[in-house]
Structure 1
Amino acid sequence: MRIALLTEGGYPYARGEGGAWCDRLVRGLAHHEFDVYALSRSPRTEAGGRVDPAPPVRRVRAERLWGEPPAPVRGGGRTARRARRAAFRWHFGDLAAALAGVADTPDRRGPARGEPRAERAERFAAGLYGLAELAAEHGGLPGLLRSEDALTALEAACRAPGARPLLGDIGVTGLLAVAALLEHQLRPLSLPWYGPDELGAADLCHAVSGGPATLPGLLAKRFCGTPLIVTEYTVRVREALLAHRAAGLPPAVRVLLGDYHRLLAAESYRQAALVTPGSTHVRRWQERCGAPADRVRTVHPGIDPGRFARVGAQSEEEARQPAARAEPTLAWVGRADPAKDLVALLHAFHAIRARQPRARLRVFHAPVTDERSAGYLGHCRGLAAQLFPDEAAHPHAAGENPVTFEEIGSPGAPQPADAYAAGDVVLLSSSAEGFPLNLVEAMFCGRPTVSTDVGAVREVIGGTGLIVPPRNPRALADAALELLGGPERATRLGAAARERALALFTVTTCVHAFRDAYLSVVARHPVPREPLHDATGAPRPFVAPAEALIPCR
C-alpha cells in the first residue's frame, strides 16, 4: 500500500531520535511505498540538511511553516474578490469565535445554508474546513490570514458576549501577534498536496506527531476519504503551551493560541481511524483532549538494541563475576537542557561525595548546537566549580576530578554505549520528560538506574530501577548511594532492566505493531476510489485488500 508520512520538524530533516525512528519504521516496512510530506518548523530545522531517505520512500515533499507568507493570489474580478473576502470573514469568524470560547447563536446562518452550531468543537471544525475549501477553490489563503479582515474577526470574537473575560482587554499588538502565529499554523491549508496524484493517491496518512502535521491528514480525509493515523511520543499540546510561556507571550495571546492547539488536537483525535500514543502518560493527555478510548492503542517507540549488545553482554558477564570498582562512578547521558535538571544532579552528587569521597560523576552530553544549550552547559560547569572548589570540574579529562563533562562522539570521547557502561549506576535527573529514550538505552546496556518520576519513566522502568521525586537532590543522592552500597542488588536490577527493554522496546516490536495497524485501518477504511455499489445497487467488496500488496514467499 502507499503510505503518506506526515512530519513536522522531523524526518527527513531531524538527525536525532525523531528522524531515526521514522527511518527505522520505513525500512522495517519496505514492502510498502512511502511518500513523505514534511513541514519545516524553523530555519534551524533545515540548517542541518536532510538525511538520505530509505529506499521505500518514493518521494519527499517539503514546505515551510516559517518565514514570510507566500505571495498573495491575484485574479478574478471585483465581484469574485468580494465574495472571497466575505467567505473568508465567515469561516475565519467561526474559527476565531471557537478560540475565544463563544458559542454559536440560534439565529446565525451560513451563506445560503447553515444550521446553528452550539459546540465549540463543531464551530472550530466548520471554520477550519471552510477555510480549507476556500483555499482549495482560490489557490490558497496568502494575505487573508494577516489581513484587516482577520484582525476584525479576531477582535469581534474577543469582544463578543460569552468570550473569556481575559480576552476583553486584548490590544492591537496582541491581535497582530495572534494573527501572525495563526497564519504560520494554518499554512498547510494552502499547500498543493490534496490532488489525486498527491495525498489523494495514498491508501493511508500517518501523522508522526500532533499539531500542524495532522492538518494535511485531516484535509486528505475530508477531500479524498483517506484514513488517518496519529502517532505522538510527546504531548504536542503541552509542548505548544510551554513554548508560548517561554516566549513571553501575553496571557490573552496564550489563551487564544492554546485553545487553537487543544481544539486542533481534539479534531485530529476525533477524525483519526487510530491514535497511537507512545506511552500511557501520553495516552492520558490524549484522552483528556477528547481521544476516544476505543481508537487508542499504545505503541512504544522502537530502539535498535544492536548498538548496545556488546555492553549488554559485558553486563551479563559482570553479573556472573561481580567486581567492585575502586572509584564508584555515576553516569549521566543526554542533551544539555534545563528540563534535564543538571543543577539538581550536581547538588545530589555533592551530597554523595560527602558520604562516598571517592565517587565520581561523568556527564556525557550530546553535541551543543544552539546558544541556549551552550549557555546552560556553561552554567552547569560553573556550578560544578563552585561545589568542588578545591577540585574544579575538568571539561575534558576523565579520572582527574570528581565531575567531568564529555561530549559524546567527539574525538577521544565514548560512544553512547560506552558512556552508559562507564557508570556503576546511570542517573536520570529530569524535571520533565516525554518518553525517556536515554533510560531505555541504559536498560539495553544492563545498567542499574535511578530516575526521577516524570513523564513515562515509571511505565518504562516497571520496577527494574529506583524512582525518586523530581527536583529533589537529596532523594536522588540517597537512591544512588543505596545502589552503590549494594552491588548485588544493582546487578540484579540491571539484568532485569535489560530483559524488560528487549521484550518491550525493540524496533521489531514497534514495526510489527504498525504493520498490523496499517492493515487493520486500511481494511476497515478503504479509500473510496471505486463506486461503492455495483450496477445492481449491491455493495462492492473491498477488491484489493492491503494484504494483497504484501509479497509472499
Structure 2
Amino acid sequence: MSRMPPEVVHIITGLQQGGAESMLHKLLTEARQQNPEIRQSVYALGQSGVVGERLCAQGFEVRALGLSPRLGNPWVLRPLWQHLRQLPPDSVVQTWMYHADLIGGLLAYAAGQRRIVWNIRQSGIGPADIGRMTRWVVGLCARLSHRLPRKIITNARTAQAVHVAAGYAASRFTWIGNGFDTQRFSFQPEGRRRVREQLGVSDQALLIGNVARHDPQKDLGNFVAMARQVHQRQRHTRFLIAGRGVPSSAPLRTQIAAAGLEQAFLLLDEQQDVPALMSALDLFCLSSRAEGFPNVLGEAMACERPCVSSDCGDAGAVLGDPRWIAPTGDPEALADRVCALLALPVAQRLQLGAGHRQRIQSSFSVASIWRDYLHLYRSL
C-alpha cells in the first residue's frame, strides 16, 4: 500500500495575493485539518506578501528567499537547497508556477529528490499573455518536463492542450481543480452595507465589479469597454476594479477617461476583505482573455453574486451556465450578457446567485481537492 509522504515542500514564485497563492493557502489549511501528521513547509523564491503573512499567522513554516527577478543573487537559494538535501525518504516537492517549476524542480532533482510535482496555473502562454523571460522559462520547462517532474498538475483542462502543443510531455499531466473555502467566502449583509457606505455607493446604484491585478491576461480594457456600453443602457450602473497595481495604472485611467466614465468608476488596490467586497457587488464580471481555473469567479459565486464571464480558461466549466459566458476580447458580447442579467427581476438575480453558491459547494470543495492532491502524492 502507498504511504503518506512525511513532508511536502511547497516552492512558489511569491506569496502576494493571487489565484495560485490563495489555492496554496487553502490547501495547506485543509491539509492540516485532515492530515496533521504530514509536515508542510513553504518557500517563496521571491518576496512574501499577504498570503505569506496569513500562513505565518497560522503557524506554517514559511521562508521568503528574496531571489531577484533576473536571478542576480542565486546564493539566496542556499536554505532551500539544504532543506531539500535533508528531506526524509518518500517526501514530495510540490512547485507552483513556471519559475518555481524550473528553479525548484532543478534544485530538488540535483538534491536527489525524485518525487517532484509541478503545478501549472494558466492557459495563456502567448506574447500577449506573458513576458519574454517567462516564455523562455516555459520553453525550458517544456524540454525538462519529459524527465524532471513525475507529474504535472493543471487546474484547467484547457491548459493541458496548450502546454502539450508547446512541447510539454502529455503523459505527465493530471487535472485537479481548485477548491473554495465556503465558510470564508459567503454573502455578508453587514460587509455589503459597510463597503458600499465607505465607497459612497447608494442602495439604488447597480455596482458591477471585477477583482484582478493589473496584468495583460486580465484584459481590464475589455472590462472598461464593456462598462461604457452598459452605462449607456443603464445609467444607474457603477463599476469597480480591485487588485494589485490597478489604481496606479495610467493606461487604465486613460481608457476610463476616454470612455467618459471617470465619475462611474472606482479603482481599488489589493483588498484584505475580499468576501465583504464581493458582497457589495450586484454583479461580478470577469473580463480576462486567459486564465487557468479562475479562482476569483468561484469566490464570487460562493458569495452568491450573479456572474458573467469571458470564455477564458475553465470559466465556462466553473460557472456551468453558457448564458452568462461571452467570447474573450468581445466587450459588446460581455455587455449584452451583463445587461441581460441586470434586466432580470431582483428576486431572480438573487436566486441565480444562490444557485452559484450551491454549485461551488457541491462541486468544488477544498476538502475534496486536498484528497485529490494526497492521492496523487501517495501514488508517487
- Give deviations 1:283-324, integer Å, cap 9, x for gaps: 223333455555432111223221222349999xxxxxxxxx
* 1:1-29 CA distance string (max 9 Å, x none): 3334242422xx43544333323323322
- Counterpart residue number, 1:543: none
CA 1:423–1:286: 2 relative to 1, 3 Å: same
Q: Which whole-Å CA distance do the structure 2 matches of 1:260 and 1:346 have between them?
A: 32
Which residue matches 1:210? 98
**SS where residue 238 of structure 2 aligns?**
strand
Q: Normalising by structure 1, report the TM-score.
A: 0.55
The Cα of 1:32 is off from its aligned counterpart by 0.5
1:297–1:351: structure 2 CA closer, same or farther, 3 Å change rule? same
**What residue number does 1:481 align with?**
339
- Give the Å deviation of 1:222: 5.9
Q: With CA pairs under 8 Å and 6+ residues apart, which has the higher RCO, 1 or 2?
A: 2
Contact 1:302–1:508 (8 Å) recurs in 2: yes
Per-residue CA deviations over 1:347-374 (Å, capped at 9, x if unaligned) read: 32332233333x3123041354xxxx44
Does the 8 Å CA contact 1:448/1:493 hold for their aligned counterparts?
Answer: yes
Matched, 1:23 2:25: yes
* Contact 2:65–2:76, Cα closer than 8 Å, also in 1: no
Q: What is the rounded CA distance, in whole Å, between the counterparts of 1:512 and 1:484 in structure 2?
A: 39
- How far apart, in 1, do the equivalents of 2:269 and 2:113 lie? 48
Aligned to 1:73: none
Give the structure 1 partner of residue 152 of structure 2: 275
For 1:280 and 1:511, locate their aligned partners in 2 and report how far apart those are by CA, in whole Å. Answer: 18
Q: Which residue of 1 aligns with 2:112?
A: 224
- Listed one character per residue, the Cα deviations across residues 54-113 of structure 1 (whole Å, up to 9, x for unaligned) are 77755748362557856xxxxxxxxxxxxxxxxxxxxxxxxxxxxxxxxxxxxxxxxxxx
Distance 1:477 1:436 in 2: 20
Q: Note closer, same or farther for the CA distance 1:342–1:505 as it changes in structure 2 (3 Å cut).
A: same
CA-to-aligned-CA distance 1:211-250 (integer Å, 9 cap, x gap) = 3434443454465353111122125965898311xxxxxx
Deviation at 1:31, TM superposition (A): 1.9
2:162 aligned residue: 285
For 1:48 and 1:498, locate their aligned partners in 2 and report how far apart those are by CA, in whole Å.
Answer: 26
- CA distance in 1 between partners of 2:79 and 2:142 (Å): 20
Structure 2 SS opposite 1:193: helix
**C-alpha displacement of 1:519:** 1.8
Task: Report % sequence identity.
Answer: 22
Q: Is the 8 A contact 2:6 2:88 kept in 1?
A: no
Q: What letter corresponds to residue 217 of structure 1 in structure 2?
A: G
Corresponding residue for 1:380? 252
Return the TM-score normalized by structure 2: 0.77
The 3 A distance-change label for structure 1 pair 269 and 491 is farther
**Do structure 1's residue 53 and structure 2's residue 56 form an aligned pair?**
yes
Q: Residue 224 of structure 1: SS of its match in structure 2? A: coil
1:57-136 aligned at under 5 Å gives the runs: 57=60, 60=63, 62=65, 64-66=67-69, 69=72
Task: Write out aligned runs for 1:35-54 (5 A).
Answer: 35-40=41-46, 45=47, 51=53, 53=56
Q: Do the aligned partners of residues 235 and 468 (structure 1) sit closer, same or farther apart at CA in structure 2, a change above 3 Å counting?
A: closer
| AA of the residue aligned to 1:23 | H
Q: 1:313 to 1:271 in 2, by over 3 A?
A: farther
Aligned equivalent of 1:305: 182
Return the match for 1:501 from 350, 360, 364. 360
Q: Distance in 2 between matches of 1:196 and 1:441?
A: 34
Structure exhibiting the larger radius of gyration computed from Cα positions: 1
Q: Which amino acid aligns with 1:507?
A: V
* Structure 2: runs of 5 or more not aligned: 193-202
1:245-394 alignment to 2 at 5 Å?
258=135, 261-311=138-188, 326-357=204-235, 359-366=236-243, 368=245, 373-376=246-249, 378-388=250-260, 393-394=262-263
Equivalence for 1:33: 39
Q: Is the 8 A contact 1:464 1:497 kept in 2?
A: no
Contact 2:247 2:267 in 1 (8 A): no
Task: Report if aligned partners of 2:11, 2:104 keep a CA contact under 8 Å in 1.
Answer: no
**Native 8 Å contact 1:214 1:268 kept in 2:** no
Q: Which shifted more, 494-503 or 437-446? A: 494-503
Matched residue of 2:240: which SS?
strand
Aligned to 1:422: 280
In structure 2, distance between residues paired with 1:352 and 1:192: 50
CA-atom RMSD in angstroms? 3.9
CA distance in 1, matches of 2:50, 2:275: 24
Partners of 1:472 and 1:243 in 2: CA distance: 23
Corresponding residue of 1:9? 13
Of residues 506-515 and 216-225 in structure 1, the stretch that sits farther from structure 2 once superposed is 216-225
Aligned residue pairs, count: 360
Q: Which of 365, 371, 374 is the matching residue for 1:512?
A: 371
- Give the residue type in structure 2 aligned to 1:353: H
| 8 Å CA contact 1:203, 1:226 repeated in 2 | no
Cα distance, 1:340 vs. partner? 2.9
Q: Which residue of 2 aligns with 1:447?
A: 305
Distance 1:236 1:56 in 2: 35
Shift of 1:207: 1.4
Q: Which amino acid aligns with 1:387?
A: A
Contact 1:7 / 1:208 at 8 angstroms: preserved in 2?
Answer: yes
Which consecutive unaligned segments of at least 5 residues does structure 1 have? 71-183, 245-253, 316-324, 395-401, 522-553
Which residue matches 2:200? Answer: none
Whether contact under 8 Å (1:360, 1:403) holds in the other structure is no
